[in-house]
Structure 1
Amino acid sequence: MLKGKTIVLGVSGGIAAYKAASLCSKLVQAGANVHVIMTESATKFITPLTLQTLSRNPVYLDTFDEFNPSVVSHIDLADRADLVVIAPATANILAKMAHGLADDMLSTTLLAATAQVLVAPAMNVHMYAHPAVEHNMELLAQRGVRFIEPGTGQLACGYVGKGRLAEPEDIVHAVEQWFASSNELAGKRILVTAGGTVERLDPVRYLTNDSSGKMGFAIAEAAANRGAEVTLIAARNTVETLEGVQIIQVETAEEMLQAVLSRFEQTDIVIKAAAVADYRPVVRASTKMKKNDGHLVIELERTTDILQTLGEMKKGQFLVGFAAETEQVEHYAMDKLRRKHCDLVVANDVSVEGAGFNVDTNIVKVFGEEGLVETMPLLQKREVANLLLSLVAQRMTLAAKEADE
C-alpha cells in the first residue's frame, strides 16, 4: 500500500524521538520513500546518521542546508510529499504549526506543504492536558490535520498517564489506513446535519437543546478528508467553519427540513447528526412577551420528523440516523432504525460521562438491520467520525457487489 509513496517524517525534540528510528525503518520496509526532517532538539536524542541510514536519504536539519542547488529544499520536499507524519510531535512544534511560525526546517516545510499531515503527539501528561496545547490541537484539527492518539502508561518523566507516543507499528497502521481511506468516498455527495434547532417563542426567547454540533461537524470534516463532496446543514452550534465543506446555516426544524429535502435527490449519503426539535410553539409572538402574575401556558405542536421523511422517500441513498438516549439504548435505537428505514443508527447514552453534549468525546454503539454492528469506547468525536465513515463505505461497497451478482 505504501509502495512508491513519498512520506516526509518530521521528528521533533522529545525523548520519544528514539522511536522515530523504528518508525522510519517500518515505513521504508513497507515501500515508502521516506525523507526525514529533524529539529535541532531532536538531534539531542537521536543522531541524524541513524535516520539517514534507515531512510537511505539525506536528513534535513537546517533550512539553509541545500543539498541540491536546482531546488529549494523545503519547497521541494513539501511539493513531493504524499503525506507528512510528525512523530513525535512536541508541544512546541504543535504551537508552531497552530500559529504559523517558520523558524526551522520542519516548521517552514509544514507551512509549504499541501499534503495531509498526520501528527503523533508525545509529552508529559500535564502538558498534553494543558489548555494551550488542547487549543492548538483543536485549531489544527479544524484545518484538517489528523492526530494519532498518544498511549497511556509510564512516561519517561516518571508520571503515569496519557502522553506516550503511539507505537511505531500503530503509526504505520494509521498511515496505511489514511492512504486506504483518503479517496474511498471520492465522487460521493454527502449531506450531514448538525447542531440543535431553535424554535422561537418571541424575538428573544426560544426552545432548543444541548447539542453543540461537534459530532456532525466531525463527520463532515472526515467525509471531506476522504474525498467526498460534503454539504453540512447546521443549526445552532459551537464549532467554527470547516475548510472544503459547504455549510448551510438554518435555525428551525422546518428550515432544516426544507434545506435537506431540496438536496436529497442529488445526495448519495445522508447522516442526520443534528438534534432536531420534536415540538414548536403554535404561536410565535412578534414582540417580547411580558411576564404577569399568573402562569404561562405555551401550546406546542409536532414538527415534521425529518429522518422518517427521508426514510420513506429514499431511493438508493444510504441513511444514517442518530439516537441520543438516557435508557434502553439498544431498544430505542433498533426501533428508530426500523420505523424510519435507516441503514444505520448511531446511538449513545448521553447520561454517561464523556458521551453527552458539549464535549469532544463520545461513546457510541452502531446498529444495523441485523442488530449491534459495532461498539466504540470513549473516543474523540473525530475518531468516532472516521470509524463511522469507514463502516458506511464498507457497507455501501458490499451492497454494490451484491447488486452486481
Structure 2
Amino acid sequence: MPLQPRGRHALLTAAALVVLTACGTDAPKKADDRDRPAASPAATTRAPAPTPTLPAVAGYEPGEIPPVPLIVLPDLSMLDASLAGFALDVDAAVGDIPGVTVTPTHCDASGAVEVGRGALLAYGDGSGVFTAPDGSVVNYGDGSGTYVLNGTTVTVYGDGSGTYAADGVSVVSYGDGSGVYDDGTTHVYVHTDGGGGWSRGDRSVVNYGDGSGVASDGETRIVNYGDGSGMYSDGTLTVQNFGDGTGTVDGVPVEVDPLPRVPRLGAFPSMGTIAPVPSCGATLTLDAGVLFDFGSAEIRPDAEESLDALATALAGVAAPNGSVEGHTDSVSSAEFNQRLSEDRARAVADHLARGGVGTAFDVVGHGEDRPVAPNEVDGQDNPAGRQLNRRVEILLPGVTS
C-alpha cells in the first residue's frame, strides 16, 4: 500500500504502491494551473544562491521540489490472503506506517530470493506477477475462458484483455496497455497515452502523459507543469520553480534547476503476462527520503517514531532471521553510494535492535547496483525513479507456525 510521511513538511513519496484505471470519466485532462507562478521575479538579474538558513522539504536542498511520484501497481500476489499468507500477516502487523511498504518476497525453486521481483512498476515493459495459493503455475495461453481458483474468478478473452475479481478486488486489463485496479481503498488507472492516476483516501497522484503531473496528500501539494516549472506547498512551506533557473522559497529568491518532465507511464499488464510465481516471505521497503537527509545515514528525528512503530510490529512477527539491505540511486560515485547504502542499512538494523526486534539480521549494502526504476529515461534525469531507488529493504523469510 502507498504510505506517506505526514511531518511538518510532509514529503509525498513513491513508496506508495499505485494501480491505474482505464478509460472514460477518469481520464486526466490537463495539469491544474491554479498555483502556477506567473513569472520569474528576477527577469534581468540572477537570483542569489540559496543560503543554509532557508527552510527545505525534508530530504531536499532549499529550493528543490520533490518529484511527482511514479505510479506503481501492487504485486498481484497480495490480492488475496490465501495467495501470500505470511506477507499479508506482516502487512497487517505493520499497518499504515509512513514510508513503509510490504510486498511478498519471490524466490526461485531453490528458495533463493529473485532480485527485482516484488512491486510491479506501471512503467516500462508491462510485466506482472501472480501467485497461486499452492505455488503452481497457471498457463493462460492465447485462448479465452473463465476459471475459478480458490474463490478468485479470472476471465481471459484471448486478446490480452480480461478481468480478475476476488474479495472486493477487481482488475481489468483492456489488452491495449490500459487497465484499472480497485480494491475499495486504492484506485489506479492507466491510459494508452501514457497518462494515469492513483488515489487512496486524501492522497492522489495524476500523470497527464504530457510531462506534467500533480500529487497531493492532504495539505501537501506538488505540481509539475511539464515545462520546467512547478510548485510545492504543505501549508507551512511554499517552494516555486519558474523553469528559468530561478525560484522562490517562501518568497525568497533562489537559484534552482528547472524540473524534469514527468515520465509517461508504461503499459498495464495484459492478462497473458499475469503468471503465478512462488512466494517465500515478505519484503518491507522503507523510503530513504523519509528516514534520512540527503546524502546522510543519520536517522532523522522525525522518522524515529515510524521506526519505533515498525520495531514494535516486527517484534510481534518474531521472524528468527532476515536481512536489512540498503540501496541508492546513481547520483555520486559508486564508492560513495556503496558506503552510504551500507551505513543506512546498519542504522536501520541498529534502531530496530534497540526497539526490541530479536531477528538476527544480515546487513548488506548494494549501492546503486539494484535499481527498481530507471534513474534516467531517454537520457533525461528521472527524479521519481531515483526516489524509488533510494530505499532500505527488510527481507523476512516466511515463518511457519
Larger Rg: 1
Specify which structure has the higher proportion of helix.
1
TM-score, scaled relative to structure 1: 0.27
Specify which structure has the higher proportion of strand.
2
Higher relative CO (Cα under 8 Å, sequence separation at least 6) belongs to: 2
